[in-house]
């Protein structure tokens, strides 16, 4: 579930709390939805995933080996139906992208479209992002980590489900290289303010790159979704946050 209704808006594919034990289930920041798979989505999972998919079973990855080259690496957590990630990969062939998403229709759709477009600079995890951060991505291996429109869980009793927590930021810091960036965006002002509060508590790890205030203008690297464009016409706000790894 995302904060917007656009089918290109990402779904946050991570747990918000990793204190899972044999007696307690981890608090998750996503809800798995049941839904029909189209023929193209099924094709993506069945035919393309074996070539462009990644799994936790592969252990800690050598990204140069995965992509067959040295390049700048960008990770997007919760890519939803994959529209943003597909556009970025198409416009930046010199960059390698890793997408993380738990929902099969979105994973299948992105893989099918990547294959039809002949793009080879994207790899996809159909996994919990926390596990990918902990077990799969090497330290200091990512230039940019993107979290666009995660579920805001607006009710106070559900705030513990929000992916942006201190533990999440610390995990992200491990994989982002020095000088690399964490880019977050939300269309819920209260969640944007909450993100700022969390990041202010992690100033030893990240510094805000905003020249004034807490937010930055939408970078060209973040494609404008149909939902966002429609919201702009109606006067709805979107808040972008950009932090640099110290």
CATH value at residue 183: 3.40.50.150
Q: Domain for residue 15, yes or no?
A: no
- pLDDT tens per residue across span 94-131: 999 999 999 999 999 999 999 999 999 999 999 999 99
Residue 4 lies in a domain: no
Q: Is residue 19 part of a domain?
A: no
Cα–Cα dist 55/3, whole Å: 27
Name the domain count of the chain.
1
Residues with catalytic annotation?
Answer: 151
What is the rounded average pLDDT for all residues in the chain?
A: 88
Q: What is d(CA 54, CA 17) in angstroms, rounded to the nearest whole number? A: 23
Domain that holds residue 47: 39-245
3-state secondary structure of 145: strand
Digit-coded pLDDT (tens) for 124-177: 999 999 999 999 999 999 999 999 999 998 999 999 999 999 999 999 999 999
- For residue 7, what pLDDT band results from cuts at 50, 70 and 90? very low
Question: The pTM is what?
Answer: 0.85
Q: Is residue 53 part of a domain?
A: yes
- In the sheet with 53-54, reading across from the earlier edge strand, the strands are 53-54, 122-125, 95-100, 72-77, 142-148, 176-186, 239-245, 206-208
Task: Indicate whether 185 belongs to any domain.
Answer: yes
């Amino acid at each position: 579930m995302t904060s917007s209704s656009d089918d290109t808006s990402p779904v946050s594919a991570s747990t918000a709390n990793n204190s899972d034990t044999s007696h307690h289930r981890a608090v998750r920041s996503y809800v798995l939805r049941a839904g029909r798979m189209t023929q193209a989505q099924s094709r993506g999972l069945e035919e393309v995933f074996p070539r462009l998919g990644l799994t936790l079973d592969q252990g800690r990855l050598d990204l140069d080996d995965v992509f067959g080259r040295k390049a700048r690496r960008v990770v997007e957590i919760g890519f939803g139906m994959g529209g943003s990630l597909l556009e970025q990969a198409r416009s930046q062939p010199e960059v390698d992208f890793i997408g993380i998403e738990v929902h099969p229709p979105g994973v299948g759709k992105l893989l099918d479209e990547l294959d039809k477009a002949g793009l080879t600079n994207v790899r996809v995890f159909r996994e919990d992002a926390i596990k990918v951060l902990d077990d799969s991505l090497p330290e200091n291996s990512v230039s940019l980590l993107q979290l666009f429109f995660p579920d805001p869980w607006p009710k106070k009793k559900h705030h513990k489900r929000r992916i942006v927590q201190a533990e999440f930021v610390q995990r992200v810091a491990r994989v982002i290289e020095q000088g690399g960036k964490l880019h977050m965006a939300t269309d819920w002002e209260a969640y944007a303010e909450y993100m700022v509060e969390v990041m202010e508590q992690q100033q030893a790890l990240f510094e805000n790159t905003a020249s004034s205030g807490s937010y930055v203008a939408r970078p060209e690297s973040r494609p404008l979704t149909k939902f966002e464009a429609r919201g702009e016409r109606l006067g709805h706000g979107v808040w972008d946050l950009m932090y640099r790894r110290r």
